[in-house]
Amino acid sequence: MQKIRIVHYINQFFAQIGGEEMAHVPPQWREGPVGPGLALAAAFGQTAEIVGTVICGDSYFNEHTSEALPEILDMIKAAGADLLIAGPAFNAGRYGVACGTVAKAAQDELGIKAITGMYVENPGADMFAQDVYIISTRNSAAGMRDAVKKLAPLAQKLVSGEPIGASSEEGYLPRGIRVNLFEKDRGAKRAVEMLVRKLRGQDFTTEYPMPDFDRVAPQPAVKNISRAKVALVTSGGIVPFGNPDRIESSNASRYGRYDLENIMDLTEGKWATAHGGYDPSYANRDADRVLPVDVMREMEIEGKIGSLFRYTYSTVGNGTAVKSSKAFADEFVKELIKENVQAVILTST
């Protein structure tokens, strides 16, 4: 039996090139398995061979996708791959987005099977779960062994054309695709059995998990906006020119706090956007289009608001995890409360 030819995509960290300081490295090819590819090769045994590894820095891929993706696809195609394995990325957001993008493109443009692995809260999981089989992993590389155990069998089924079972059976993230299944017992009996297990404190698996919506109750209206101190906060990535805090263009791990004292307008060449994923030219020509300091100053002069708070807080929303966003807000909201800010205008792209 002919071995499955696999190409493995990994980032600079798993290729042991370096961490964030080496996230700028462009795509490169190495023969055979590298890093986690060694564990994958062992899991496949004699049924498959990792013929080569494509490596690309997370920052480079997300900031130069239009250049990086065609180059990576050329490497995969030249290797005569039957299967692409990307990652697993665990909870690394930019890595997850890159893995999902490469896997989907390999399927759509090269016509080869592709699979990846991510933690359920990775932004790449939301973006690509419907397009690519994504093995559910733990949130860190400590779960590599478990991820490989689930990834290899599903990958073999994909290539061989064997029927793929439900996500609960195969270990991949739900894809939102419904199919008809015939169960041995009626729904009423299964429901009662689940209820009894729940009442007894025993483990059970629901057949239809309900979505978890994070609803935030609105605050009462500001009683007198003409006397209120108003702050501007943005996920649109508006920063002083040069991005002094090095906020990432995707999956931001930090935010910036910037002084607006005596600034009436965010002028070109002094302010710009760090945001990836959209054409930044309009925001770079006039950052007020994303962070409306000019309009707020006009309202301040006209007495429509009491004052504009001296500082603005900015990060990038592109692929940024909800957990990270909440952590940012937990930090800077303390200053807003301390400074008696009564209203916040949150802008995006």
Domain ranges of the chain: 4-170, 225-347
Contact 97/62 with Cβ under 8 angstroms?
A: yes
Contact 101/134 with Cβ under 8 angstroms?
A: no
Contact 314/203 with Cβ under 8 angstroms?
A: no
Dihedral (CA of 182, 185, 191, 196) sign: negative
| pTM score | 0.63
Contact 11/57 with Cβ under 8 angstroms?
A: yes
Which residues does residue 50 pair with via DSSP β-bridges, in sequence order? 6
Contact 143/171 with Cβ under 8 angstroms?
A: no
Q: What is the CA radius of gyration of the chain?
A: 24
Separation between Cα atoms, residue 12 and residue 54, nearest integer Å: 10
Instruction: List alpha helices for the chain, DSSP H.
Output: 37-44, 58-63, 65-78, 93-105, 123-128, 144-160, 167-170, 187-199, 281-285, 293-301, 322-338
Contact 308/230 with Cβ under 8 angstroms?
A: yes
CATH code reported for the domain at 4-170: 3.40.50.2000
Strands 48-55 and 28-31: antiparallel
Residue 211: its pLDDT value, please? 65
**Which regions in the chain score pLDDT beneath 70?**
1, 211-213
Kindly compute the dihedral angle of the four CA atoms of residues 328, 330, 335, 338, in this order, to the nearest 10 degrees. 170
Residue 182: its pLDDT value, please? 80
Contact 113/159 with Cβ under 8 angstroms?
A: yes
pLDDT in tens, 226-238: 999 999 999 999 9
Residue 20: its pLDDT value, please? 84
Separation between Cα atoms, residue 123 and residue 319, nearest integer Å: 5
| Amino acid letter, residue 275 | H
Strands 256-259 and 311-314: antiparallel
Residue 138: its pLDDT value, please? 92
Distance, first Cα to last Cα, the chain: 52
For residue 207, CA distances in Å to 129, 154, 181, 186, 342 come to 19, 22, 12, 13, 45
Residue 142, Cβ density class (10 Å: 0-12 exposed, 13-18 middle, ≥19 buried): exposed
Nearest to 115 by CA among 77, 170, 68: 170
